[in-house]
Every structure is written in C-alpha cells, then in structure tokens.
Amino acid sequence: MATNKEAQEPDNLKTVENVLSQSEAFIEKYQKQILYGVGIVVLIVLAILAFRNWYLVPKETKAETKLAVCQNFFAVDSFQVALNGDGTENCIGFKGVVDEYGMTKSANLANAYAGVCYYKLKDYNNAIKYLKKFSGKDLNIAPSITGLIGDSYVELGQVEEGIKYFLKAADVDNEMISPIYLKKAAIAYESRGDYKKAIELYTKIKDEYVRSQEAADMERYIGRAQALVK
C-alpha cells in the first residue's frame, strides 16, 4: 500500500510542471516586452558608467587640481584670492570651483572653504550661504562647519539661531569638539540672560567631558552664571 508521501509525489510533480508551463507561456507571450525591458536596463547601466568614467572622473581630477591651488592661498591667509581667484585660469578661486565643477567632491569641499573665507572677511551672510551648501559626515569637519554657521549667526546678532547650530555641532560623538560648542552655546545663553540654561551646559561639560580643555575652568564659569541667576 502506497504511503501518503508516495501518493503526494505525482501531484507535486504535476503542480511543478504546471507552473513551469505557465512560466514558459508567459515568457513566450511577453518575450518582446521582456527583452525591451532588459535592454533598457542595460542601456541605463552603460550610460551611468559612461557618464562616470568619461565625464565625472576627468572633471573630478581637474577640480582637485583647481582646488589645491586655492588651498595654497587659503593656507597663507590670502582669503580674497582663495575665494575669488587671481584672474588666471590657474587660480579660479573656491567660488569658481563651485560654479564650474558643481557635481564633484572638490566643489562640495570648496563650499566649506568659501564659507570660511567669507567668515574671515566678515561677510557673514555669504559665509552662511556657502557653509550650508557643504555636505559631509566626517566627525571633525562637519561639526566644525555647523559650528561656524552658528558663529556667523551670532556675529549677525541672531543669537538664538546661533545657539541652535552650536547645539547641533555639539550633538556628535566627538569628545574634543562637543565641549567646544557646548561652551559657545552656554556663553550665548548668558548673553541673552538665560543663566540657568548656561549653567546646565557648563555642568554638562564639567561632568561628561572631564578630560577636555574646556572642563578645566568650568567651575569658574558655573560660579559666574550662578551669581547672576535671579
């Protein structure tokens, strides 16, 4: 007498055969559409690879060369030249790199440099404009750029907006940078007369960033703010 398993095997085979037959029929019926679809995907992939290898990579190489020249001027505090160039094709300035090589990594970095140049030149609105264009996740560079946006707002008298960026810059896993911007935020709170909030941040630096340079004199800052609390 056949077991249940043996009885089920022919039925299972028939089911599989039916599925395969249906699949073959579907492929045969829509063969042209499937081939067109595959062809389109292949063309898209080839187009992306061609764009990357024949356009983007060479453009990135040129952008890196242009950026390096600007960085040399930046390093010696020639911020005007670093920003706007010297009128030659050799040095087009960070703004020129942004304008001519906008899709490259170098152009992204040039936004940050341009923002710093504008900050040094005390043009804080343009500093904010370019600094905000920068996009990065590096735990040293990104928070520093965010913090400089905060500095720019404070220089413009927009202290509350500056505090937002200081706190955002501090909200990273970086024991060196976080206390710097917590302190800036606390000082900004003090300038607005919010001494309790300032004390809260000073205390956070003292308790959570014990080994930081900022923590060394936090007792003095806390004492000063406490004396002003009404």
Q: Domain for residue 1, yes or no?
A: no
**Which residue in 104, 97, 158, 109 sits closest to 138, CA to CA?**
109
pLDDT at position 58? 63
Position 35: which residue type?
Answer: L
Q: Domain for residue 20, yes or no?
A: no
Domains held by the chain: number? 2
Q: Domain for residue 11, yes or no?
A: no
Report CA-CA distances (Å) from 38 to 31, 43, 48, 51, 131.
11, 9, 16, 20, 43
CA 196 to chain centre: 32
> 105 CB contacts (<8 Å, ≥6 apart)?
60, 63
CATH number for the domain spanning 151: value is: 1.25.40.10
Report CA-CA distances (Å) from 26 to 30, 49, 172.
6, 32, 54
Same domain assignment for residues 80 and 115: yes
Mean pLDDT by 10 residues, the chain (230 residues): 50 54 58 59 51 56 91 96 93 95 90 97 98 89 95 97 97 89 97 95 94 92 89
Position 185: which residue type?
Answer: A
pLDDT at position 228? 87
Same domain assignment for residues 102 and 51: yes
Containing structural domain, residue 31 = 25-123
pLDDT at position 71? 95
Same domain assignment for residues 31 and 107: yes
